[in-house]
Amino acid sequence: MQLVRLVEQAIDIVSEGERADLRKRLDQTLSRLKDPSIRVIVVGEFKQGKSKLINALVNAPVCPVDDDIATSVPTVVRHGDPASASVLLPRADKDPGDDEPLERLPINIADLAAYVSERGNPGNAKKLVAAEVFLPRKVLAGGLTVVDSPGVGGMGSSHTLTTLTALPTADAMLLVSDASQEYTEPEIRFLRQAMRITPSVVGVLSKTDLYPDWRRVAELDRGHLAQVSADIPLFPVSSDLRLEAARHQDAELNNESGFPGLIGHLRNEIVGKAERIQRRSVSQDLVSVTDNLRLSLQAELAALENPAGTPAMIAGLEAAKLEADDLRKRSARWQITLNDGIGDLIADMEYDLRDRLRRIQRDAENAIDQGDPGPTWTAFTKWLEECTAAAISDTFVWTSERSQWLATQVAEHFSEDEVTLPVLRVSDTGDALDPVDDMPGLDDGHINPMQKVLIGMRGSYGGVLMFGLLTGIFGMALINPLSVGAGLLLGRKAYREDKDARLKRRQSEAKALVRRQLDDVVFQVGKQLKDRLRMVQRSTRDHFTEIAEEHHRSLSDSVSAAQKAATTYKLEKDTRIRDIKAELKRVDTLQQAARALAEKEQAPSKPAHGAVSVPRRAPAVVAAG
């Protein structure tokens, strides 16, 4: 592969010059090239046909499908020969410095349902991170990796957080919705949220063979997608027709299934675009490395060929070295921008989270005041969970966008040229609500008939006694029609008052439970957000410190080379000039090849989503979860 050969050639050149800092960058570039995975995550509500869609895509029953089976663990399907499967578990004896925190446990493909489905692994009780399936399929041979995600419920539940967790590491997302109805409001809301993380989104209308009016639904869905973004395509498909076509080798039935269009889009727009982004990233790394190498070589060559101009050249290099040295110091402007930006971001994030949850609390208390929360407490708890999860998702996604913006602000201090940005993972919200306890139960307010009678009798006793004594003045018995009637009236009044008192007590208790739950969410989620932002600060600091160190090292080597060249003897000078020119020729050839890679990408398509004024380094592909 051309890219691998160019990077290996650059590593050879850098190794000869003992530039460990540049070698480290190229090693990272090479590791990215050797992992060609292009992740496409399949998302959607429960029972929309996600698992069967993947089965039809790869023409193999890799994901369990049944009317009462739901996916509980992400399943990663990628190319491999022979076919095999494994599950990923958190490593119990994980070393903090270990680059591989997961343990792979091989399993039989036929037993996959026992690990990834709600029936075999309800609520992911086995604590699996993901499952991996390797298949020798042509559609996967180009590096395409398909991820079957758990259903996201009403697109606002805590399952949505888990789905959003995987999006920052994905190259594209397939939003699956069946042809029974047009997109719902929660689906559109989730789509808008996901678009802010992963811009390559494809709509898939599934189960077209079951619903005769699927064309009308498709037109309605295209209208909804156009309101979100004009670039989102929609592919109506039938997984059953695709599987049946594969079984009978029927090309016409396969075309009718709609899958050829979807597969073509995956190959050309998603896999092809990812390859273009990868070439641009490799080109950027190689150009940066060769620029650093050429600086010291050209400085030494100029000093050898023009000794008279050496003092002025050394003075210029010394000034540039001082400027580069300033970038390494904590007092440098980029450090101030980073520290101030993180401080502002933490404050804004905490305010944003509290503001969202306070609005939810007000809505919850208003709903409680309008009725009895006891009988509807289960539904109310689910609504509160969905609203809370949606608010947290919005805050995390917004924080991720702000973090990327801050990284671009720091990058602008370095150069007017392109500077790579660190890979930030702030949108990871999968475990945000794990430390938060479930909502406590609430008395439903139901009392049996005997309790109602006893409450009424307690209230009626005083009325019977009072009116019995009053009518006794006129010679009537203690128990008489007037006293009994008064007792019934007062008993009914007492029952109503007791009912109102119990209702107000439940409402007060419900409000207290809501406040306590949201306080717990603010405490736990706020802590995780701050931890993630501190990781952002450290990642950004380390990333740009390495860049500053590279600049400083290159300029230091240039000054040293120029000073050394000024004292080189005539015989050694001629030999050294020849060596430097040969080395420069190798570096220039490599740089021209690297620039040619970037020039290929200027014509085809617009930059990938998330590209900012200072381009970001293409993210490394990681395992699901």
0.75 exceeded by the pTM?
A: no
Which ranges constitute the DSSP H helices of 306-448? 310-328, 333-369, 377-411
Residues 6+ apart with CB under 8 A from 111: none
Q: pLDDT (tens digit, 9 = 90+) per residue, 70-125?
A: 667 788 898 888 889 998 887 765 554 455 567 888 988 888 888 887 777 776 77
d(CA 623, CA 103): 12
**Each residue of 376-433: pLDDT tens digit?**
888 888 888 878 877 887 887 788 778 878 888 887 776 545 555 555 554 444 455 5
Q: Hey, what amino acid is at 375? A: P
Do 271 and 264 meet the contact criterion of CB atoms below 8 Å apart? Answer: no
User: What are the two backbone dihedrals, phi and then psi, of residue 470, each rounded to the nearest 5 degrees?
Assistant: -65, -45
CA 238 to chain centre: 29
Residue 429: CB partners within 8 Å, gap ≥ 6? 161, 162, 164, 165, 392, 393, 396
Q: Write down the mean pLDDT value for the chain.
A: 75
Extract the tokens encoding 493: 């009044």
Cβ 201 vs Cβ 185: under 8 Å: no
Q: Write the pLDDT tens digit of every residue in 169-182.
A: 677 889 999 999 99
Ranking 49-63, 284-298, 393-407 by mean pLDDT, the lowest is: 284-298
**pLDDT bracket for residue 154 (50, 70, 90):** very low
d(CA 227, CA 551): 46
The angle formed by the CA atoms of residues 400, 405 and 407, to the nearest 5 degrees, is 95
